[in-house]
Amino acid sequence: MRYPLVRELAAAGAPLRVPVAVTCRVLKIARQPYYRWLAQPVTDAEWTQAHRANALFDAHREDLEFGYRFLADEARQTGQAMADRTAWRICSANGWWSVFGKKKPYWKGRRAGAPAHDDLVARDFTAEAGNALWLTDITEHWTGEGKLYLCAVKDVWSNRIVGYSIDSRMKSRLAVAALDNAVARRRVEGREVAGCVLHSDRGSQFRSRKMQRALTGHSMVGSMGQVGSAADNAAMESFFSLLQHNVLDRHRWATRDELRIAIVTWIERTYHRRRRQTALGRLTPIEYETIMTNTVAQAA
């Protein structure tokens, strides 16, 4: 746009003041549009565009996996209405691409995002008491309606799944909901979680600002493993392997609700109360917690 140049040359304090008419004639632009711009340098369209871009960027920063269609959905929820094509144009102009989709050259050779926390576990998946070390991760499975995502939180002391969240979209709120569910369950049982270490991989859901606020709000400590190393969260992967074998791969799931009910039923009825584990002295996670809690209480 050349209008700022016209204004600068015509300014009273310019070293060589040039009348608007002369500058417009030389640049071959009309004066009336210039005066309209001078009265309103930022048009309504530009103002709207800026707010849309801000909404898209906030959504992109929260969940780097989202493509422009999902970003447009998030922006519309904040009140910034726009078509998917408009969202694509803004994202394309600013290079806001999904990490799973199209990438611009500046992405090449980049490594995974820096961890939000140090690795405090170092593959030592043991704990002397409950609520000392929790593990968390996300798994997914296809249904006839699309993917279903499960985020689970496991207490390594008893191998109990102390909290989980199931959703049709893998967003940061999936991980936050699982953490909140785990904290609420423990507090109902009269157990505090302050100081508990939550170990995860470097997924964007666990690195998100929402997750960091949740950890701080619960007075918990974050821990993250290395990039691309399944061994850094092997104890959580072992649970998902059991879930995969006993539930997910048993047959094709027609709906998300059907799979959701099957997952919850298996966790609460079978894994927690019927599946005995050698590491727990052939006890189930619920039996182990009950016995150990009563023993500690009697000793006190």
Q: What is the pLDDT of residues 238-277, one digit of tens each?
A: 899 999 999 999 889 999 999 999 999 999 999 999 988 8
State the CATH number of the domain containing residue 262: 3.30.420.10
Residue 82 belongs to some domain of the structure: yes
Please tell me whether residues 163 and 250 are part of one structural domain: yes
Please tell me whether residues 189 and 98 are part of one structural domain: no
Give me the chain's average pLDDT, please. 85
Residue 235 belongs to some domain of the structure: yes
Estimate to the nearest angstrom the gap between the alpha carbon of 195 and the chain centroid.
23
Residue 7 belongs to some domain of the structure: yes
Q: What is the pLDDT of residues 20-78, one digit of tens each?
A: 888 888 888 888 887 887 887 767 787 788 888 888 988 888 777 678 888 888 889 88
Of 85-99, 173-187, 226-240, minimum mean pLDDT range: 226-240
Residue 127 belongs to some domain of the structure: no
In the chain, the percentage of residues whose pLDDT exceeds 70 is 89
Residue 107, pLDDT score: 38
Please tell me whether residues 151 and 294 are part of one structural domain: yes
pLDDT band for position 221 (cuts 50, 70, 90): very high
Q: What is the pLDDT of residues 191-209, one digit of tens each?
A: 889 999 999 988 889 989 9
Residue 156 belongs to some domain of the structure: yes
Please tell me whether residues 222 and 163 are part of one structural domain: yes
Q: How far is CA 242 from CA 172, 214, 246, 248, 286, in A?
A: 25, 28, 6, 9, 17
> 0.75 exceeded by the pTM?
no
> Taking 70 as the threshold, does the pLDDT of residue 112 lie above it?
no
Residue 178 belongs to some domain of the structure: yes
Strand pairing category for 197-200 and 133-143: parallel
Residue 297, pLDDT score: 59
Please tell me whether residues 189 and 176 are part of one structural domain: yes
Please tell me whether residues 206 and 247 are part of one structural domain: yes
The residue among 163 and 17 whose pLDDT is bigger is 163
Residue 105, pLDDT score: 43
Tell me how far apart the alpha carbons of residues 245 and 265 are, in angstroms, rounded to a whole number.
15
Residue 76 belongs to some domain of the structure: yes
> Taking 50 as the threshold, does the pLDDT of residue 2 lie above it?
yes
Please tell me whether residues 182 and 248 are part of one structural domain: yes
Of 81-95, 202-216, 225-239, minimum mean pLDDT range: 225-239
> Taking 50 as the threshold, does the pLDDT of residue 169 lie above it?
yes
pLDDT band for position 109 (cuts 50, 70, 90): very low
Three-state DSSP state, 136: strand
Torsion of CA 57, 58, 59, 60, to 10 degrees: 50
Mean pLDDT of 150-171: 95
Mean pLDDT of 110-129: 76
Q: Which two tokens stand for residue 9?
A: 């040359």
Residue 243, pLDDT score: 94
Please tell me whether residues 139 and 267 are part of one structural domain: yes
Number of domains in the chain: 3
Q: How far is CA 146 from CA 223, 258, 259, 274, 288, in A?
A: 31, 12, 11, 31, 37
> Taking 80 as the threshold, does the pLDDT of residue 106 lie above it?
no
Residue 142, pLDDT score: 94
Please tell me whether residues 64 and 34 are part of one structural domain: no
Please tell me whether residues 258 and 138 are part of one structural domain: yes
The residue among 176 and 122 whose pLDDT is bigger is 176
Residue 172 belongs to some domain of the structure: yes
Please tell me whether residues 137 and 237 are part of one structural domain: yes
Range of the domain at 26: 3-39
Of the residues 103, 121, 142, the one at which a domain ends: 103
Cβ(198)–Cβ(153) under 8 Å?
Answer: yes
Please tell me whether residues 285 and 147 are part of one structural domain: yes
Strand pairing category for 133-143 and 146-155: antiparallel
pLDDT band for position 230 (cuts 50, 70, 90): low
